Structures are given as C-alpha cells and as structure tokens.
Chains A and B, each alone.
Chain A
Amino acid sequence: MIQVQTPDERLAALKKPAVETIKKLALNSEDCLVVCAGFEDRALGFLRTATSFKTPFNVLAIQYLPLLKENKSLEIRKISNQADLILDEVTYDREDPAGFGVLFLERIHAVRGRTIIDISGMSRLLIVQLLVALSYRDQGFRDCFVAYAEAQKYSPNQEETEAMLAKYDLDPAFSILFLSSGVFDVTVVSELSSSAPSSGQTRLIVFPTLDADQMTALRAELQPSRYTVIEGIPPNPRNKWRIGAIAAINRLEEMPNTERMKASTLDYVETLNCLLSVYREHGIRDRLLISPTGSKMQAVAVGLFKACVNDVQIVYPTPRGFLFPDSYTSGVGALHFLSLTPFTRNGNAS
C-alpha cells in the first residue's frame, strides 16, 4: 500500500517517549539548565538537586517582567554563586513576549551538551514558545529535555472551592477568583501564528482552569464558532474533585457547540493524542486555536504539537496578576524528566 503521511500523521505514528520520574538530576559542565525565576517553590527544585552533585554546569535563568517580589531571582543567583555555576540571565516580558524564542536560541547556541528546560516555574505560553523555538534549529530537539517538578500542595483545596461554588450558585454574577486575577490580554505572537488560508469558522481548543476569567476572556475576544474542551485529570486521585469543580466554575455544561475530552495533567501523550484527534477530525473545516491554559505538562504537549503541526494558532490569556503568589503552590514534589530527542525528525520534517 502506497502511503503519504501528513505532519500530524507522522507525529501520531511516532513512538513517544514516556515521562520518567527521577530522584535526582546530574548535570555536567557542558549541560545547560534553563530555569525560570517564577514565584513557586518548585521553580528551584531541579536547580537544587543538580547542585548536590558538586559538578558545575550552565544555568540560563529567565527573569519575568512584570517583576513580582516573590520571584526567585535572588535565590537562583545565590545558588549559582555558591555552586560555581555559570549563570546567564535573560528577561521575559509576560506582557510583550513576542520574539522570545529567537532570543532564547541565541543564548543556548553555544551549549555543547544537553539543554534541560525546567518548566516547573514557567508560564504556559513561555513553555510553548521555547519548544517551538527549539524545533526551528537544524538539530531540532536533539539533546533537549523537559524537567518538571510537581508541587507538594496545590491551592485552592476542596473546601475553599466548594465554598466559592456555593456562593456562585446563589449569585451567578459572583466571580470566582482563586489564583490569578483577571486577564491582561489575549496574547498572540507572530512566531506561534499560522498564516494558513483562513477558513470560515474557528475552533478554540482550551484547557479549563479554576480561573473562569481565562475562558471568558478567550470567548469574548476570539468569539470562536466551536469549542474543544480538554479537561485535565490530576495524577493524584485525591485531586480528582478538581475535574468537577473546574467544569462547574466554567459552566462547561452550558457551553454551546462544545466537544469535551479528558487528558492527564501529567502524561503529555494523552493531551497530544487529544490534539491529534481534534486536528484529524476538524483540521480541514476549522481554523484551530489552541490556548495552553492547562497544566504545564499539557503545555509541553501543545508546544510539541505546534512544533510539528504548524497550521494551528496559539492564543493565550495572559493573567493580569496573581492573587497570592506565595500560596499558588507550595513545596517541591515528584521530579519528572522527558527526552525531546525523538521529536526531532518529526519536528524538523514539518
């Protein structure tokens, strides 16, 4: 049988590497750890464990603008200084993120060893930007890895959420705000845009969160014709209550023209499979807009998907601020590691 594959089919056929859970990460002097000076404890999880081996390595620290006092910049500098690491810093403006991928590639151009992107403290849009930028290189994703630290505790808890939902049931005009407050803008950057010929209707692929404002802003600004909602399944069964809570907060039952899917928040392959299925089913008729608002590993899936299938559009509701940065998440939980090398052929073929 003679077959011609489209880029999504090549990606679907690819044997995807599994996410490994690791105890520690050893780096050498040719490796580069890309960390983000976010405000969560886990932003430093990999950096701390890697320095325990006493071998110096390179660190590229991404500093956020607008600056939050809770950001870990000073700690990154301190750890790097104490462990004799070679620290380089680059600034990422959340409110004007266009072109950051090119800047990032320039900074890692000289890396001879592995490039490990620690996404634990990164914004979802930044994760997508970095992965897509890597795919532009001649060597694609070769020797690139994603590192991800879970948190020990995620806010809000079930009681807090149920209390908010009860208020919401009494007064539909009540806004539930847990983590972020409002939306600064629906961000579109040209490097994550598609200039494929426009089709008549748009489909928003969205990962609902506890902050309904994000979905509201996306719906108001983009006015999509159709929706695919990918609901996240937390890996820890104790957090399963979140699925129903998020659906209630976002009133998913009432959304018109919506197909609903479910995917693990940790196993990126499930999200990738959802995206491939949506592309296969709707990619011709609909202009696909993907908003990587889900978990960070789901953002990895979106980044890999965009790197291989470029006729989709990334849109992102950038939060205006964070209500309680110091209690967004706390602690450093399990460490996960993912090799991106297998995506090289596919990514570059597209």
Chain B
Amino acid sequence: MRKNLPDKEFFVGKQIPARPDVTITRFVDSGNDAHLFKAHSDQLARDVACKIIPRANLVHGPDGQATWRAEVHKADALQSKTVVKFEDIKEWKAEADQIDCVVLISEFVEGQNLRLFINSKRAEVSISFVMLWLETMLNVFNEMKLRNISHGDIHWGNILVEDRSSYDLMGPRYVFRVTDFGVADATSDQRFRDDYLQLAEVLSHLLAAVDYQSLSAKDKYIFNKLRHDFLSRHLTENDTTRDPIARQPDKLFRRLKEIGTEFEKWAAEQPAQLLSPFDFLSCEQIGDAPALLRALYSDRFLGLSEIESRNNVVVTGPRGCGKTTVFRSLSLRQKIRVNEADPSEIKYIGVYYRCDDLYFAFPRYRLPTRTEAFDLPIHFVTATLLAELLDALEVWGAQHFQEEFKRVESQAAIKMWNVLNLEPPHEPGSETFKALVVELEKQRRKAAERQRFANDSNRGLGKNFGVEVLQRACGVLLGSFSFLNNKPFYFFIDDYSIPKVTKDLQADLNRLLMQRTSFCFFKLSTESPVSFCKSDIDEKTYVENREFVLHNLGLVYLHSKPTPKMGFIEDVFRRRISKTVTAFPVKELGELIGSNPKQNNNDYARKIRGTNKIQHWGKETLCKLCSGDIHYVIGVVGDMVKSAGGPAEIEKVTTVPRLGPEFQNRAIRGAAGNFLKNLRAFPRYGERLVAIVESFGNVAHSFIKYRDSKNEKGNPPHQDTRIEPYELFVLSDEAQRLYDELLRYSVFIEDFRGKSRRGKVVPRLYLRRFLIPHFNLTFSMRDSIELEPADFELFLLDPRKFEDTYRFRNPQDAMDAEEKTLKDKPGQQLPLELNEGGDHDPSPNS
C-alpha cells in the first residue's frame, strides 16, 4: 500500500534545496514509501539517483530521534562493488506545498531493475544469467554475514542490471547491482523480510522466466538443481541442523559453483553395464555411457589412422562397423568424460555431431526457392558445432588451463561475438563462452523455425551465418588461447547419409563441410558411397583424393589381411568379456568358438556340389563373415551362446571349443535369415531388396552346383560372391534407387578398385559376407558373375526374371549357356573368371 507519497510531478525539474547542484531530471519509479528520481549533479558532473521518502514514512526513536539515519548508513560498511551506497542524505521541506521529505542520494545506475528486465527481455533470461545472478547475490550475502548486516527488502525491483558501457572500458559491460540497503529498516513500514526467503522469491521469478524446453541437457540439469536444491531447500530452510549449508553464503556459493562439474560427472555416470558380452551391439545402444564406450572401444580398429589424418575424410561402411564408436571416442567431450583429456595426449580438438539432429530439423529438405534461405542449414550447423565446441573447450580449459582461460575468455568471447555478427545480450556474463553457447542454441532454433517458411516471401529470414563463420570462429579460438597451438579442430559429422540428410541438404552443407584449411577438418561418416553427395549447390564437384579422402571401411575389412582383422575382433571380445559384470566362462574368443584354420574354399565348393552343406565354425570363419560389421559378429556369437544354453551350460564344457560347431553353424545361418527378414521391413524398398539379393544368391549357388572354373587347376566349382559389370552402367532412375538402397544397407559392398574384363573402371559388388552361408556359397573371392549393363538393370528391376535367365538347373544348362556366349561373343566365356591382378582371397588356406 503506498502511503504519504507526495505528487511526483512536484519534484521534476527542481533543485534539491540543500544540494542546489543537484537537479531532478525525471521520475523513475515509486515504491510503497518513496519515489525514485534520476537527477544530475553539476558539481559531480554526472547523474545521481534520488530516493525521496516522506518523513512520516521514516522510523524514529521513542523520543523522536532520527534512528532511520543509522539504518541507511549501514550499507557504508559493505565493500562489495555490487552494493549501491547512499552518498548523501538531505532534507527537502516546502511547507507551502506540504512537502517534508528526506532525499537519499546515490550513484545513478544505468540500466533496468530485474522486474523490468525480465518483463522486457524474457528471452534473454538464461540459466547462465540466473547462475551469475545467484553467484553475485551470494557473494554480497557473504559480506553481509561477515559484517552482520541485513538488507530487509530484497526484491526484483531493487536488483539492477547495470550497463557500464558509457564509462568503463575494462570490466564486463553488464553487472548486477543491489540498491536500497537499509531503506526498509529506515522506513516506518517495517517489513523485516528474511533476505534468504526474498532471494528465493527472486530466484523463482527468474526460473519462471526461463524457457525450460529450449534448454540443453546441462542447463536442464542446472535448472532442476536450482529449483529443487536452492529454491526448495538451501534458501528457504533456516534450520542448519536440517540443511547444513542453509544461511551459509560461502557454502552456498561453493555449492552453486559445483553444479556444472557435477553435471559432467552425472552425464558420465550412466549406469549402463554389460550383463553379458553381447549386450550393446552398437554404439547407439551404448548411448551416453562414456565409461562403457571407452571400455569397449578398441584402438586396433582398422582404418583409424586414416580417420585421424589431417584431411577431410568421408568414412563409409556397413551399419555397425564402428563408425559412430570411433567418431564419438575421438571427441574431446568423450575424452574429458573418461579422464583422458590430458593436454599432452590431445592432438586435436574433436567435436562430435550426429546428423539425426539435422534430420529432425530439416526433414525431407528441398532447396528453397529463395536464395536467401540457402544459408539456413549452414546457420543451424555452424551454431550447433560452435556451441558444442565452446562448451567442451570451456570444461577442458577450466580443468587444465584455468588461469589462461579465465584471463583470455572475455576477450575471446568479444571477438567471437564480432565474428558471429551478433549483438551480445545486454546482461551480465555476456562476455563468456556460456553466453555464447546460449545464444548459439537460440540461433539453432531460429534457423529451424525459419526453415518452415523458407519459401514464403512474406516472412523475413533474418541474418544467417555464411559458410566462412565456423572457420573464422575457429581461427579466433586458435589465436586467443596458447593451449590450442598446433591443435586443429576435427568435426566428426556422423550419419551424414542420404536420404535422411537429403541430397539437397548435403549439397547445401557441403559448402561448409568440404572447406579446406590448415586448422579445420571435417570427418563425415555416411552409410555408403552413394549416400554422400559429391557436389554442392554452387555446382562445384568435390573430387575424391583432392577435396576429400573416401575411406570405405567395408572394403578395408573385405581386403584386410587376416592377422589385423583377427586381432581387432579378438580384442573386441576380450574387452567385452572383461567388462561383463557377471562372470563369463571364458576369457578369449578362441576358447569359446575354437580355431578352424584348415579351410579350403574349393573343397567346400565341392561339398556343396555334392549336396553337403558346410558347417561353419571357428574364429577364422567369424573373421571371414565380417565385412566390418562388428555388431553382427558380436551378435552372432551371442546367438551361439544362447542356442547352446547360455553361459551356465558353456561353463560345464571343458573342451575347446566350448561351443560346438553345430551351435555355431546354426547361429551363423540364422543371423543371415534374420537380416533378410528385417531388410524386408525396411521402408520403401525392403521387399525388393530382398528379392534382388535372393536372386543373386540363387544364381550364384547354381553356379557352384553346375559350373566349373575353367582357368583353375582341377576345374573347381565356380564360386561367385560378387557381380562385375562389363561396362560402366547408366541405370534408369528406378534401378539407380534400388542400387543405392542395396549399398545403403550394405547388402552389397561396392568396390571401384580395378577394371573389368573389357578394361573399364566399373564397380564390383561384393555380397555382404555374412549372407554367404545363407545362400550356401563359399568365401572365395576369385570368381564373378559378369553382366552387361542391360542385364544388370534387369537384375535390379526384375530379379525374378534375372534368376530365371541366369540360374542353372543342371549341368547341361551351364554348358548351353557357355556355348551360347561363345557363339554370341567369341572370345568370351560366361560366367567369366576374374583374371586381372590386384584381387586376392584373404582366407589363409584357400
């Protein structure tokens, strides 16, 4: 209730009678007991604030003493620069106008109080803003406690957000200030409110202004800590036996500072455990469990050195081949979380980004009709990558380079705001990485929202980051912090695959992600060579080995020598077995499935021809089944264990292998069938893909049965697990889509290395290795089914007809086909054996 307040208009434009150098210039606000004005002092040559309180509202002693005066001067004892102190106290009497007031003169703080700030700039109330505010307040409370001073009337009207830009070149531009110390005690309306409860109330106003749903995981965590710990307990509890840090500003301050670090620990402590060595088959399943990821990550991964090279690299390979595991493991964030971020071990600053985020923000992206909308995805990705980079760098910097980071952060942040061409928020803490991260997250959201109206010319699209911004920002960081010397930035962009990240979207983003500098490198993982677009919207074509290195993990594994491949697979199992929380009966893969080194593909082929099925078992077979898809290898061994009755049954077996060949063989064949069943359910083309691969398998099997390899000693059966076109083919749109999908799901693995019989550079298509047993073929890589382009098109579009044409039903069929070929195409044989160099069968004893 306002009381005794004179007409505020009376004061405006007048000099204070007892301070004629001070002229009231404008009204600012009113409280219950006083008016607040802005005034100008000629003597001081600056503005001052004047709080005018009717004498009747002031506290007096029993004998009329001006006890209020002592209350107002209480704040003089405080040294904190946050506190706004009264510089002078004067009387203002004008009997004719019934004015009898006291004027409290203090410095004038340029800026808004928190109430106005929240109401006018709600979107700028971020978690870092709230944290900084609470730190500031607890710092003041600490001094208040030491000097036994209370404020008595803390509310969002007397906490100010000061803009110091008009006079201060050095410090932060925006700071929090607290006014009206002692005023509550000095006025007659004695509302001796508890400072902590009032602090809690202001905190609740601030938290209510935060847009919870737009927060990052870290900020949501902090939000809930502030809400549940500070608001509901530490600040509102006054019994220290119930809460030992209640009313202890120094402890509260320390507790507050711990929350960020606590989040990092919380994030690293997901209780994901291996209950069996076959849990968590893929990195996606591991999820956010850094310790588990670290434990399962094998640095014997084939192809790691190429990924870590200072090149832009496009990594491709079958699903589950470890792309995500490697990319995530190489990020600075992961290394921090598993305590492996010692600066001496960090050769580059890795930032991991998974593109499903992009897929959700830009679903089915088509290039907009408005050219100014082209940069929206660039804006989104730049903001996202930079936010993650800055956040990780802040944590790392604070851990290992605290002094330098603290010293340089503000200047680096100012430069970053300039590079981003963004106005820093008008609030304390804007010159920090935290504020930059908050703003970049906002920019991400804006880009995604604007994209919905990308083709609507009535909607503005705002300013968007250009393709140069990320590089420039990285340049600023390198130039600012000495600890980043000679440490390039590696951006690991995972699952950058068509169709989720559409061709148009890739063409747009490639302007950013295919840039080449000496300090920024992009590592793109994509499902298959055809799920990556090799051009951009400026019609620039990116050439392999010039703009980027294509690293096909499927081929790496396919053509690898057995020793490193086996070493990797055994290491993966060793790690998994050792990390399993319940004891597993064996320690090594070899003990579980045994060794079966004497495998001969020609003998196997003859067995197949003799209607005997081969029994697949042993670690060498497992190695051959792997096309890089390590998750399959783990899964299939898991199936073997399961079909044998589980670990308890294996424990009872005392001979090696613990798992009999029959269990191994059944699981290997079952896994292939399961893959085909799942493939059938995949969107759009699933059933057709299954029909294609089945037709290939059936044709290839008929070759083993009825056709001989002519240029081999002993005329062994023809063993085809790949297709080789004679000529480079141009497929119809529909056939091309099917071809791309076959590669996308790695039903076949494409290899461009080598030439066809006719000397043409053509892709060879290798059947995914673990499908070989399903079709009763051998692992030999000697023979090919060779096709004319038209037959290849037929194979894709009408696999049943293809099978009818090519499949041999008996030996006579095979002979007839060969005679026909010789007649039609003299000098050629069908099916033809591969005869050029450079190809080999990696199986040791074939």
By the criterion CB–CB under 8 Å, are A175 and B680 in contact?
A: yes
Q: Which single member of A98, A173, A198, A200 contacts B384 (CB below 8 Å)?
A: A198
A313 and B363 alpha carbons, distance in the complex (Å): 12
Tell yes or no: B236 within 8 A of A by CB.
yes
Tell yes or no: A350 within 8 A of B by CB.
yes
Known contacts A182-B681, A200-B287: A350-B387 contact under CB 8 Å? no
Tell yes or no: A30 within 8 A of B by CB.
no
Main secondary structure of the interface of A (DSSP, over half): loop
A284 and B266 alpha carbons, distance in the complex (Å): 11
Q: Which single member of A3, A190, A200 contacts B448 (CB below 8 Å)?
A: A190
Count how many chain A residues have C-beta atoms less than 8 Å from C-beta atoms of the other chain.
57
By the criterion CB–CB under 8 Å, are A185 and B684 in contact?
A: yes
By the criterion CB–CB under 8 Å, are B282 and A223 in contact?
A: yes
- Collect the chain A residues with CB atoms within 8 Å of residue B357's CB: 198
Residues of chain B from 195 to 237 with CB closer than 8 A to chain A in the complex: 200-201, 204, 207-208, 212-217, 220-221, 223-224, 227, 231-232, 236
> What's the nearest-Cβ distance from chain A to residue B114, in Å?
15
Tell yes or no: A6 within 8 A of B by CB.
yes
Known contacts A98-B364, A173-B677, A193-B448: A202-B279 contact under CB 8 Å? no
State which of A33-41, A120-128, A214-222 sits at the interface with chain B: A214-222
> What's the nearest-Cβ distance from chain A to residue B459, in Å?
12
- Collect the chain A residues with CB atoms within 8 Å of residue B384's CB: 197-198
A194 and B212 alpha carbons, distance in the complex (Å): 13
Q: Which single member of A193, A201, A217 contacts B360 (CB below 8 Å)?
A: A193
- Collect the chain A residues with CB atoms within 8 Å of residue B215's CB: 196-197
Residues of chain A from 168 to 187 with CB closer than 8 A to chain B in the complex: 172-175, 182-187
- Collect the chain B residues with CB atoms within 8 Å of residue A237's CB: none
A99 and B670 alpha carbons, distance in the complex (Å): 44
A6 and B207 alpha carbons, distance in the complex (Å): 10
Tell yes or no: A317 within 8 A of B by CB.
yes
By the criterion CB–CB under 8 Å, are A4 and B288 in contact?
A: no
Tell yes or no: A236 within 8 A of B by CB.
no
- Collect the chain B residues with CB atoms within 8 Å of residue A195's CB: 360-361, 444-445, 447-449
Q: Which single member of A216, A257, A310 contacts B678 (CB below 8 Å)?
A: A216
Known contacts A183-B683, A213-B681, A225-B287: A284-B207 contact under CB 8 Å? no
By the criterion CB–CB under 8 Å, are A198 and B681 in contact?
A: no
By the criterion CB–CB under 8 Å, are A197 and B360 in contact?
A: no
Q: Which single member of B200, B224, B284 contacts A284 (CB below 8 Å)?
A: B224
A36 and B201 alpha carbons, distance in the complex (Å): 50
Tell yes or no: B270 within 8 A of A by CB.
yes
Q: Name A99's closest neighbour in chain B (CB-CB).
A: B452
A98 and B281 alpha carbons, distance in the complex (Å): 34
By the criterion CB–CB under 8 Å, are A285 and B217 in contact?
A: yes
Tell yes or no: B674 within 8 A of A by CB.
yes
- Collect the chain A residues with CB atoms within 8 Å of residue B270's CB: 285
By the criterion CB–CB under 8 Å, are B356 and A172 in contact?
A: no
By the criterion CB–CB under 8 Å, are A172 and B670 in contact?
A: yes
Known contacts A182-B687, A190-B362, A256-B285: A197-B217 contact under CB 8 Å? yes
A317 and B684 alpha carbons, distance in the complex (Å): 11
A283 and B213 alpha carbons, distance in the complex (Å): 10
- Collect the chain B residues with CB atoms within 8 Å of residue A221's CB: 500, 682-683
> What's the nearest-Cβ distance from chain A to residue B10, in Å?
39
Q: Name A168's closest neighbour in chain B (CB-CB).
A: B677
> What's the nearest-Cβ distance from chain A to residue B293, in Å?
10
By the criterion CB–CB under 8 Å, are A186 and B285 in contact?
A: no
By the criterion CB–CB under 8 Å, are B231 and A190 in contact?
A: no
By the criterion CB–CB under 8 Å, are B217 and A173 in contact?
A: no
Residues of chain B from 169 to 218 with CB closer than 8 A to chain A in the complex: 200-201, 204, 207-208, 212-217
> What's the nearest-Cβ distance from chain B to residue A144, in Å?
23
Tell yes or no: A1 within 8 A of B by CB.
yes
Q: Which single member of A212, A223, A285, A317 contacts B683 (CB below 8 Å)?
A: A317
By the criterion CB–CB under 8 Å, are A284 and B220 in contact?
A: yes
Q: Name B354's closest neighbour in chain A (CB-CB).
A: A198
By the criterion CB–CB under 8 Å, are B363 and A256 in contact?
A: no
> What's the nearest-Cβ distance from chain B to residue A313, in Å?
5
- Collect the chain A residues with CB atoms within 8 Å of residue B723's CB: none
Known contacts A6-B212, A173-B676, A256-B285: A184-B684 contact under CB 8 Å? yes
> What's the nearest-Cβ distance from chain B to residue A264, in Å?
27
Q: Which single member of A184, A193, A226, A283 contacts B287 (CB below 8 Å)?
A: A226
A277 and B448 alpha carbons, distance in the complex (Å): 28
A240 and B217 alpha carbons, distance in the complex (Å): 39
Q: Which single member of A3, A217, A284 contacts B217 (CB below 8 Å)?
A: A284
By the criterion CB–CB under 8 Å, are A190 and B451 in contact?
A: yes
By the criterion CB–CB under 8 Å, are B287 and A4 in contact?
A: no
Residues of chain A from 202 to 254 with CB closer than 8 A to chain B in the complex: 202, 212-213, 216-217, 220-226
> What's the nearest-Cβ distance from chain B to residue A221, in Å?
7
- Collect the chain A residues with CB atoms within 8 Å of residue B793's CB: none
By the criterion CB–CB under 8 Å, are A184 and B452 in contact?
A: no
A314 and B268 alpha carbons, distance in the complex (Å): 27
By the criterion CB–CB under 8 Å, are B201 and A310 in contact?
A: no
Tell yes or no: A191 within 8 A of B by CB.
yes
> What's the nearest-Cβ distance from chain A to residue B119, in Å?
17
By the criterion CB–CB under 8 Å, are B217 and A2 in contact?
A: no
By the criterion CB–CB under 8 Å, are A7 and B213 in contact?
A: yes
Q: Name A222's closest neighbour in chain B (CB-CB).
A: B356
Q: Name B380's closest neighbour in chain A (CB-CB).
A: A195
A257 and B284 alpha carbons, distance in the complex (Å): 11
Tell yes or no: A189 within 8 A of B by CB.
yes
By the criterion CB–CB under 8 Å, are B286 and A225 in contact?
A: yes
Which 7 residue pairs spanning A and B have beta carbons closest together? A225-B287, A201-B287, A195-B448, A216-B681, A198-B357, A188-B363, A197-B216
* Cβ contacts A to B, 24 pairs, < 8 Å: A3-B231, A4-B231, A175-B681, A182-B681, A182-B686, A182-B687, A183-B683, A188-B363, A188-B364, A190-B448, A195-B444, A195-B448, A196-B215, A196-B216, A196-B445, A197-B441, A197-B444, A198-B354, A201-B288, A216-B678, A221-B682, A223-B319, A256-B280, A311-B213
Q: A223-B282, A320-B683 are in contact. List 12 more A-B contacts (CB 8 A).
A: A2-B204, A6-B213, A7-B213, A172-B677, A190-B362, A190-B451, A198-B384, A200-B287, A220-B682, A225-B284, A284-B221, A309-B213
